[in-house]
Amino acid sequence: MSGPGIHDGAAWRRFLWLFLRSRFMLPVCAGIVAVVGLITLWAWGTTPVIADGPNAIDRAIVQRNLITGITAVAASALALTLRSPWPEMDDAAGPTVRRIRFVAFLIATILIAGIMAALGTRWDTPGAGAMLARGFLGWLGIALIGRQVLGEGRGWWIGFAWAGLAIVAGDTWRIHYPPWAWSAQDATSVLAWVVAIMAFVGGMAILARSAMGLHDQ
């Protein structure tokens, strides 16, 4: 033994396998929540389509609601994977876990945002790919800030409540989303981009600070 941290390749491989396995159950649970949430959103969003016929405005509302719902749920699910049942023991073992977790989180964020942007190009809402990537990054930042403010397991509350209100707003005011429903705004909305980028940068800064071992207390 030569101090804290992981010193050889074989130990790295064993640790990464255990680290991924330890996080396995959380994404599964989060995935179940996401699927249920998406089905609910889909049913909710298609109601006006069924009632009024599949016109362009209805499709736009459905797609913008879905963009808000999918991105908020996916971001919150990813933020939940940061949760550890033994944070004190992680910390007492040195800074390694926080750093690995930060890097893994960053890679997952880039991958998911990229996949969403690619999927969005198949939709007929202009700029849907950009809206999906923007929504995901913004809700992720909000979840990370919420995690810091409300605690590890409750960070998703803010995003879910906010996104839920935005979806209701879309159905209530038809396509005229209010400014605070930022994730449903056009891909060209400067305000929406400012909100998303500020939230993402703020949330990641909190996480990076933690990864560097800079404790609040």
Please give the residue ranges that form the binding site for another protein (CB under 8 A): 1-11, 14-15, 18-19, 21-22, 24-25, 85-86, 88-97, 213, 215, 217
Rounded (5°) CA angle 59-63-69: 145
Total number of residues shown for the chain: 217
Compute the least distance from the CB of residue 216 to another protein, in Å. 9
Compute the least distance from the CB of residue 7 to another protein, in Å. 6
Non-local (6+) Cβ contacts of 41 within 8 A are 65, 66, 69, 70, 167
Compute the least distance from the CB of residue 43 to another protein, in Å. 33
Residue 140: is it exposed, middle or buried by C-beta count within 10 angstroms (0-12/13-18/19+)?
Answer: buried
C-alpha distances in Å from residue 190, one per residue of 75, 179, 186, 193: 21, 11, 9, 5
Compute the least distance from the CB of residue 10 to another protein, in Å. 4
